[in-house]
Each structure stands twice: as C-alpha cells, then as structure tokens.
Structure 1
Amino acid sequence: MRSIANWRLIISLILYSCSVYGQPLSIVDGNNITKMQGDELFAEWSYDGKNLLFQSVINDESRIYVYRLDDDNAVCLSKLKYNFRNPVWHPDGDKIVFDSDKDGIDYLYKLDLNTLEVRPLFHRNIKSRNASFSTSSRQVYFNGYDELTNRWEIYSYDFVYNNLNRLTEYRFGSCNPDIYNNGKQIVYCKINPADNKKNLEVINWYGEPKIEFDKFPAYHPSWGPSGFKIFFISTMDNEISELYSIWKDGSHLERHTHDSIWVANPVISPDGTKMAMSVLTDEDWDIFIFNFAEK
C-alpha cells in the first residue's frame, strides 16, 4: 500500500511540473477581427458576450475600440487626443474604465458610453492602472503605485465606503490583477527582476494568499467563466509564448497552442465558447477569436 501511495505522489508531481496537451487551439483556425494598422491588445468581453473591447496603438497613441460580433464591425470610442489604455467594461453596462497618462501620471478614468464624457473613476491620490471588476460595481481592483516602497502593488477601492486597501506587499512588485466574477478570488502576476520573468499567485478579495504557481513563468492571466481554471501565457516549453491553463488548485496544467507564434492577453467569453487573444502577425499584433469550449 505504501508503494502504491508513493507512485501516486510521484505521478501527481510529474503532472504538476510538466504541461500536458489540453484542448488544442490552432492559430490558423482563428478569425482575425482587427486587420488594421497598429497593435491591437488587451481584449475584454462584454458581460453578455456580444461585444469585445480592445486597445489599438498607432505611433505610440492608444485608442479604444469595441468590436460588435453581430455585424462584424469595430468602432472607435476614443476621439480625444490622449492615451486610452487597458479598457474594461464597467459592471453597470453603460461605462468603460481605462487608464491614461493624460494629466502626467497613470490614473483610472471612466468613459460614459451615452455622452462620451470622461471622468476620474475615483478621487484618491494614487497612480493607478489595469482595472478589474467582478459583476459588482461596488469595488474595483487595480494596479496601484506605493510611493513609500516605489513598487506597483494590487489595490482595491470600495466606492460605498471610499476605502482604499493595498492587497499585496511583494518585494519586487505586482501587476495584471484579474478578479473572478464572484468577487472572491484574484489572480495576478508577481514580478521577478532577477530573470525578468513573472509567475502567478491567487489571493482572496482581502489579500490572503491561496496558492502560488512558482514552477513556471506566466503572465497575462485571466479566469475562465467557471472560476476553476486560469488561462495564461508562458514560455515554459520553448522561447515562444504559448497559451496554457491550470486549475486554481494547481492541478491540470495544460498547453493549448503549439504554433510557435507569439500570443498575448487570452480571454474567454462569458459562456465559455470563444477565446479572444492577441497574435503577432507579419505586420503587427492583431486580435483573433477562436471557437473554444472550456472543460
């Protein structure tokens, strides 16, 4: 019995440390929705899965577009002469949240889709970027700059009580938070300047660590719609970035692409049937949509 238990332990360690082939996703099967000049990155599904936000960068200027799946059309939402970066949907449905350096520092703003008026998301003295919302508009999670430590960390802000809380305190800084829809679990990247790589950690909504994935480099994390699986980009098997996923308990590490083509910013549609992801084409970064079923 002890021998069987030992073999089970060895097998589980192998599965954790090595990626296995998961549901395959081939770049040639994707639909390029942004055959336009510039680099298109940071796609974000609307809550109903009918629209896709993304950022387009041309000559160092960032604009926000929304792609409508029903009529296969992309519309520019930002006509003003400053950068609109890292767009996300506001849970209320009538606003988009983004960050910009329009006043000299990175800060979070909201764009009213009815009036196209731009206002600060909140009024706190903190550099901020990379907003993430659950399905609730009460709190936002974001990357904030700690002036005392000179590091970017993960913060939350409560709009009801005007509370600003730092959730992480990592000696090299943190970035790219993604809160799951239930508002209880956050995945983010921990920065390692020694080898210029990042790895993932999951914390709860008040900053308590749950699990760290430190056996492989990983970045651009996002939750699957079920809340069990995290999708991310990694170079763990070669020098080219590929798409992977792992369960939040550290099991079921899977590799999904094998094209040796640079990819970035994977996001799954709310119903789990489509994947949007940036792909480096011959010209620049474009956003592709793939048929994909989360298992």
Structure 2
Amino acid sequence: MLFSGSSFLQAQGFKEEQLTNSAYDNRYASYNHEGKQIIFESNRSGRWQIYSMDINGNSQTRVVSSNANDRRPSWHPYENKIVFESDRSGVNHIYTYDFDTRELQKVPIPLNGNKSHAYFAPNGKEIVFNYKVSDQNFNIHKVGLNGKRLRTYVNNAYQNMYPRYSPMGDAILYFSRKHTKREADEIYVFNIYARKENRLTNSPLHQTYASYSNGGTQIAYVASMENAPTEIYMMTKEGKSQRRITFNSHPDTLPNWSPQDFNLLVTRTINGHDQIIKILLKEEL
C-alpha cells in the first residue's frame, strides 16, 4: 500500500510502499539474493524475533522461535540462509539459519562478550561483525563461519558501528565518532587489502547506517537534520554527489538495496512504531 505521509514533502522524492502496518516495531529489512523474499526483525511477540514476508508485505511469518531476542538478520549473498544475533545464551552471539535444511548454527567466534551487526562477506564463507569492548567502544572483526581466520579490521577506543562489505569484498563501510570528539557520527570506508581507511562524510550532523548498492557504485545512508527527522541520502562510493532521497515528516533509517538496485527498504517511524517501507528508486515522482 502506498504510504500517505506529508504529500508536499513526499512529492519531492520517490514513490513509496508501506510493507508493514502494526502496533509493534519492524526493523532491519533486507532482500534475499533473488529479490523475492524479505527478512526483518519485529517485537510483535513481546520480544525481538525474526520474520519473513514477500516483496509486497504479505505472508509475514516468524522464521525462528525462541525465548530469547533474535535480532538484526541479513541474507547470505547466494544461499537461502541468514545470519543474525541472539542473546539466548545470556550473551549476544552470532547464528546462521538455513531455510532449506532448517538448520540453526552458532558461529563459534573465539571472543568473549557481545557480538552484533553481523553481515556476510560476498564469498558467503565469512562474516564481518561488531565486538563490544564497552558501551563506548565497539571494534570490527571478520571471521569464517567455522570460527577460524579471525581478523581485526578496526580497533580503537570509539564506537565503530554497522560494518557492511562492498560487493567485491575489498572494503567495509562503517560509522564512527573517532574524529569528531564523540559528538557526531561520520561514515568511513576501510580498504581491506591496503589496510587503509577513508572518511566519506564530513558534517556537524550525524551520518550513519551506510549500505553499498549491489552494483558497488552508490552508497545509501542516513543523515540527521538539525531539529528534523533523519532522512535517507545517497552518494557515490567515493563520498561525492551527496543527495537526499526521502522528504517526509517521519524518521527514516536502515536503508538496504534490492538485488538490481531498483528499490530501497528502509525503516520509518510512523505513529510511534517502526515500519518497513519500500522506496521505488526507478519511479521518481
């Protein structure tokens, strides 16, 4: 169904469809590699659980049932599998779930403490994730699904959040406050082979939750306006040509691209609850 937000503001952007509409929160939506199914998290059962739906928002079904909080799912790049985090053991660990075999597996990461925001590498055999050192310190690591080949990518005294691989697997996006005296989030890219990073945004406002297009040339991200809701922006992979693509009176966050980069899935707060919205990038108003 079409979302009917502020008509004046929305008319400046793209056509949109609202895929969830409930008195609960729905977040972290992403497409599978075929673009035929969407995974997301919802607290509609009283705790965070993982659900799937079709691309029109129909057939919403819980994927894994547990007495824990299962959160932040994302899809395997070419298999019918997801990675997510769960506190079912009292500490946040990373798990995979295979839709074909119905097999749930814990990734045996040799680190004590909370792991979060896991994301598959393009090879499908490794993940990148956040490791919590303290409330103000999150580092970024990668590891094989068998728990081997643990490597540290970003390690400092700041919150380095939401790592996302490039489609080629040669770089990782994330956001951090390490150069802003902890006052504003900015987006960085870490080149895995050169072991160097580049700051892509430079603003007094927050820039967060960056995601590569599947073509690898564009980045969607979130920016907060002063005294205004967060909005979705785009820029080139070099951080150039930054432009705003959502114009409405509700906060938008967590953009994820469709396989052919035709659409974006975002999370929008509507009437006090987070809902999943599809932005039709090929159908500008």
Q: Place the TM-score, normalised by the shorter chain, in its bin.
A: 0.7 to 0.9
Asked if 1:271 corresponds to 2:260, the answer is: yes
State TM-score, norm by structure 2: 0.85
Residues 181 and 122 of structure 1, relative CA distance in 2, 3 Å threshold: farther
Residues 133 and 24 of structure 1, relative CA distance in 2, 3 Å threshold: farther
CA RMSD of aligned residues (A): 2.7
Q: Which amino acid aligns with 1:211?
A: R
Asked if 1:208 corresponds to 2:196, the answer is: yes
Residues 125 and 68 of structure 1, relative CA distance in 2, 3 Å threshold: same
Correspondence list, 1:209-228, <5 A: 209-215=197-203, 216-228=205-217
- Cα displacement string for residues 214-255 of structure 1 (whole angstroms, at most 9, x for unaligned residues): 324211111112212111111146521111111122210101
Match of 2:239 in 1: 250
Match of 2:7 in 1: none
- Distance in 1 (alpha carbons) for counterparts of 2:43 and 2:185: 24
Match of 1:42 in 2: 28
Aligned residues: 270
**Mind listing any 5+ residue stretches in structure 2 that lack a counterpart?**
1-10
Alignment check: 8 A CA contact 2:83 2:120 kept: no
Q: Which amino acid aligns with 1:250?
A: G
Instruction: Pick the structure with greater CA Rg.
Output: 1
- Distance in 2 (alpha carbons) for counterparts of 1:30 and 1:256: 11
- Structure 2 residue corresponding to 1:156, chosen from 142, 145, 152: 142
Structure 1 stretches of 4+ with a deviation exceeding 6 A read: none
Correspondence list, 1:121-136, <5 A: 121-126=107-112, 127-136=114-123
* Deviation at residue 287 of structure 1 after TM alignment: 0.3
Residues 268 and 247 of structure 1, relative CA distance in 2, 3 Å threshold: same
Match of 1:282 in 2: 271
After alignment, is 63-72 or 31-40 more displaced? Answer: 63-72
Q: Secondary structure at the match of 1:73?
A: coil
- Distance in 2 (alpha carbons) for counterparts of 1:138 and 1:94: 14
* Deviation at residue 54 of structure 1 after TM alignment: 0.6
Residues 258 and 167 of structure 1, relative CA distance in 2, 3 Å threshold: same
- Distance in 2 (alpha carbons) for counterparts of 1:92 and 1:227: 17
Higher helix fraction: Structure 1 or Structure 2?
Answer: 1
Asked if 1:107 corresponds to 2:96, the answer is: no
**Mind listing any 5+ residue stretches in structure 1 that lack a counterpart?**
1-22
* Deviation at residue 24 of structure 1 after TM alignment: 4.8
Q: Which amino acid aligns with 1:202?
A: V
Alignment check: 8 A CA contact 1:224 1:294 kept: no
Alignment check: 8 A CA contact 2:109 2:147 kept: no
- Distance in 2 (alpha carbons) for counterparts of 1:218 and 1:110: 29
Match of 1:12 in 2: none
Residues 80 and 213 of structure 1, relative CA distance in 2, 3 Å threshold: same
